[in-house]
Amino acid sequence: MVIGFVSRKPLSQQRQIQKQNNETNKNNWESNKAKLKDAKDIHDIVAVQGYKIREHVVTTRDGYLLVIHKLENPNISTNIHHNNVNSSKIIYFHHGLLTNSELFVLGSTKSKTLPYLLVDLGFEVWLGNNRGNKYSRKHLKLSASDPKFWDFSLDEFAYYDIPDSLTYIKNYYETCLANPIDPQIVYIGFSQGCSQLFASLSLYPHLNNQLRMFIGLSPAIIPQNLNHPVFKLLVSQTANDNSFLYSLFGRRAILPSVAFWSSIMGPTLYEKVVDVSLQLLFGWKGENISRSQKEIGYPHMFSNSSVKSLLHWFQIIKARRFQMFDETCTYGITKLSSFNKKSRSKGNRVAPFPIADHLSVPMVLFYGDNDILVDMNKIQNLVVDNNHKMKDKLEIVLCPGYEHMDTLWGENVYQDVFGPIIEKLEKLQVPTAIDDETLTGNSDGKITNSSSRENLTWNRIQDKDYVLEYK
């Protein structure tokens, strides 16, 4: 019998090694944090963590060019032309108002960055962008300096941007795979990214059949009013007369100088300005988001959109109704049609987004009880109460104490949100092949594949290799 003994270093030597490791971790973290803060675009951001982005351009039916991003892990070999990609596990992320695709890859650790986790587990991950933001400020005929370029709201996001982006991805897999399957996409939206899908499904009911599941993070459909009395007055005045907000901000982009002010103020002051602004507008305290997360996320948080898109939300808040844009203008020789509120309401009923009648996709909605932008009772009423097809397809997950941004950046977001999402995605059944051949799968609905990406386990998500943040 051979008995082995573990050789232990003296305690003082162990402490010295631990101290050196801590210093190395701290230096690495500070270096990576600086790279993330100074990153100029999503390519730089994901490169810090060892990933890469492939860019695709979607041309919408009304001529806007949207750049959407496909996230990849260079250490996981995929080649769509050799049919070794998994088109049964396609995830599409869509951002909220005044943001862009970067929003989803700004977690301070890998375990707080859902796209990274999904890519490492073999999912095909796409990140969308709205017209007018940092990555999609191009049109076939219109210049971004032309007010006509910025003449869009939630109507155009829903009518063009979402369905055209989903169609592009669907065609990508149907035309490039040697043995293509019918690609059904899992849509993950944050804030307005949820309302855009709801609106699109109400306008194009056939899109329900192209989605395997909808996962909503902080779904803003009919928000409650803003927190501060001055802003409440602004919402009320703007909703009654569109020209009021246009007189303040013009008819083009809102927040066009945010990058300038971020650089001028410096990270510390800018972080304070953002925190104060969010508290005044929405009553958010940001207590569930760490300082390090704010240092990384805030410099990249905002992106341009149109003044009209913000105005549209003010109208929805005031009307307490998920509706299309209201022009609030006269449409006759005289102004009698809009002389007062009563004559306007009797003469014109703004068209709704009729989501109560046209939803059939399974959905899971995560929200916090400290988020005034999410009225879950109203959402549940719209989705379920008048639609028998959704009775057993809606799951609502309350995250106690969460505010709006916490479903992306909260300290416990993996345990409360991302972990449950990954478990649900693993349980989805594999769609059948287009040529009626069934892909090989096991009893849990996982595709059998000998590649390393399919052998990854959920336990790896908790590994130290996934922790970037210095503690």
Kindly tell me if the per-residue pLDDT of 333 is higher than 70.
no
Lowest mean pLDDT among 6-15, 37-46, 116-125, 269-278: 6-15
Q: Pull the structure tokens for residue 24.
A: 């190395």
- Domain total of the chain: 1
Domain membership flag for residue 180 = yes
Domain membership flag for residue 238 = no
Domain membership flag for residue 412 = yes
Mean pLDDT within 4-19: 51
Q: What is the pLDDT of residue 175?
A: 81
Mean pLDDT within 176-182: 67
d(CA 18, CA 21) in angstroms, rounded, equals 5
Lowest mean pLDDT among 64-73, 173-182, 279-288, 356-365: 173-182
Candidates 94, 95, 300, 404; catalytic one: 404
Candidates 108, 136, 165, 191; catalytic one: 191
- The residues facing 125 across adjacent strands are 71, 91
Domain membership flag for residue 298 = no
Domain membership flag for residue 76 = yes
Mean pLDDT within 202-216: 96
Q: At what angle do helices 192-203 and 162-176 cross, to 10 degrees?
A: 80
The half-sphere exposure of 31 on its side-chain side, counting CA atoms within 13 A, is 8
Q: What is the pLDDT of residue 85?
A: 66
Residue 38, classed as helix, strand or coil, is helix
Q: Pull the structure tokens for residue 443.
A: 């009893």
Tokens 């009772």, residue?
377
Kindly tell me if the per-residue pLDDT of 336 is higher than 90.
no
Burial degree of 323 (CB within 10 A; 0-12, 13-18, 19+): buried
Q: What is the pLDDT of residue 339?
A: 55
Strands 65-72 and 52-59: antiparallel
Q: Are 316 and 159 in contact (CB under 8 A)?
A: no
Question: Which residue segment(s) compose the domain that 140 sits in?
Answer: 50-226+356-466
Q: What is the pLDDT of residue 34?
A: 87
Q: What is the pLDDT of residue 180?
A: 64
Q: Are 212 and 239 in contact (CB under 8 A)?
A: no
> How wide is the angle at C-alpha 197 spanned by C-alphas 194 and 201, nearest 5°?
145
d(CA 94, CA 264) in angstroms, rounded, equals 29
Convert the pLDDT of each residue in 421-468 to its tens digit.
Answer: 999 999 886 655 544 433 333 333 333 333 333 333 333 344 333 333
Known catalytic residue at 62: no
Convert the pLDDT of each residue in 221-258 to its tens digit.
Answer: 999 888 788 888 888 888 888 888 988 889 999 878 77
Contacts of residue 337, Cβ cutoff 8 Å, sequence gap at least 6: 330, 331, 343, 344, 347, 348
Domain membership flag for residue 127 = yes
Residue 164 one-letter amino acid: D
- The CATH number given to whatever domain includes residue 136 is 3.40.50.1820
Lowest mean pLDDT among 12-16, 260-264, 386-390, 463-467: 463-467
Q: Are 68 and 133 in contact (CB under 8 A)?
A: no
Q: What is the pLDDT of residue 460?
A: 39
Q: What is the pLDDT of residue 31?
A: 79
The widest CA-to-CA distance across the chain, in whole angstroms, is 104
Residue 422 one-letter amino acid: I
Q: What is the pLDDT of residue 260?
A: 77
> Sign of torsion, CA 396 402 408 410?
negative
Q: Are 72 and 119 in contact (CB under 8 A)?
A: yes
Q: Are 248 and 254 in contact (CB under 8 A)?
A: no
Q: pLDDT class for 16, splitting at 50, 70, 90? A: low
Candidates 371, 375, 406, 416; catalytic one: 371
Domain membership flag for residue 294 = no
Domain membership flag for residue 288 = no
Query: Between these two residues, 345 and 355, which has the higher pLDDT value?
Result: 355
Convert the pLDDT of each residue in 114-147 to its tens digit.
Answer: 999 999 999 999 999 999 999 999 999 999 999 9
Known catalytic residue at 371: yes
Mean pLDDT, rounded, of the chain: 83
Kindly tell me if the per-residue pLDDT of 79 is higher than 70.
no
